[in-house]
Amino acid sequence: METVTGSRRATVTLPTDEQILITREFDAPKHLVYKAWTTPELVKRWWSAKRGEVTIAEIDLRVGGKWRYVMIASEGFEVGFHGEYREIVPEERLVSTEVYEGMPEGEALDTLTLTESDGRTTLTLLVEHSCKEHRDAHINSGMEDGLQDALDLLEQVAVSLR
C-alpha cells in the first residue's frame, strides 16, 4: 500500500454537544468527490465501509428530494438511513436530514462541504443532532462543553488497556 494513505486519515471531532465533525482529504478534484457522493451506483461501492452490502442507494438530488441507503451487514442484520435534501450547491455544499431507521424518532442535519486546492479536495461532514432523544442516544449526550478533552484522556486510558 502507498504510504500516502496515512496522511488521508479521517478525523472525527465533537465540536459541541450536538455536533459530530468528520474531515478527510482526497487526492481528487471536488467535482469527482461530489460525483462519488451523489451517484447511487458509486455510493453502493463505498458506503458499506466493507461491512456488508449496500442493497439500496436512492438519491433524488433536488431540494425536497429524498435519499435512502440500506445495507445488509455481514452479520446478517439490516441497517437503513434516509433523509431529505435541504440545500444543494453542486460540487460544494449539500445539506440534508438524516434519520437512522433503527431510531426513527431522531433526526440529524448533515452538511457536506467540499473545498478544492491544487487538485485535492477536503471533505467535511458536519452532523448536527436536532432532536434531544436522538442526541441522548449518542455519545455526545449531555455534554456541557464538548467531549474532546474527555476523549483525549480516554485515548490514553484505552491505549493502556491494549
Partner 1 sequence: MARAATTADAFNAVAEPRRRAILDALAGGERPVNDLVRVLGIAQPQVSKHLRVLREVGAVDVRDEGRQRVYRLNGPALKPIHDWVKSYERTWSARFDEMDAVLEELKQKEQGDGDGDR
Site for partner 1, rule CB under 8 A: 5, 8-12, 14, 20, 22, 24, 26-28, 31-33, 35-36, 42, 45-51, 100, 102-103, 123, 136-139, 141-145, 147, 149-151, 153-158, 160-161
Calculate ∠ Cα 45-138-39, nearest 5°: 20
CB of 85: closest distance to partner 1 in angstroms? 20
Q: E strands within the chain? A: 11-13, 19-26, 52-59, 66-73, 78-89, 93-100, 108-117, 120-129
Nearer to partner 1, 11 or 55 (CB): 11
Order the strands of the 120-129 sheet from edge to edge: 11-13, 19-26, 120-129, 108-117, 93-100, 78-89, 66-73, 52-59
Residues in the chain: 162
CB of 28: closest distance to partner 1 in angstroms? 4
CB of 11: closest distance to partner 1 in angstroms? 8
Three cell numbers at 125?
461532514
Euclidean distance between the first and the last CA atom of the chain, given in angstroms as a whole number: 25
Contacts with 115 (C-beta within 8 Å, 6 or more apart), sequence order: 30, 92, 121, 122
Nearer to partner 1, 56 or 143 (CB): 143
Nearer to partner 1, 61 or 143 (CB): 143
Nearer to partner 1, 87 or 136 (CB): 136
Nearer to partner 1, 63 or 127 (CB): 127
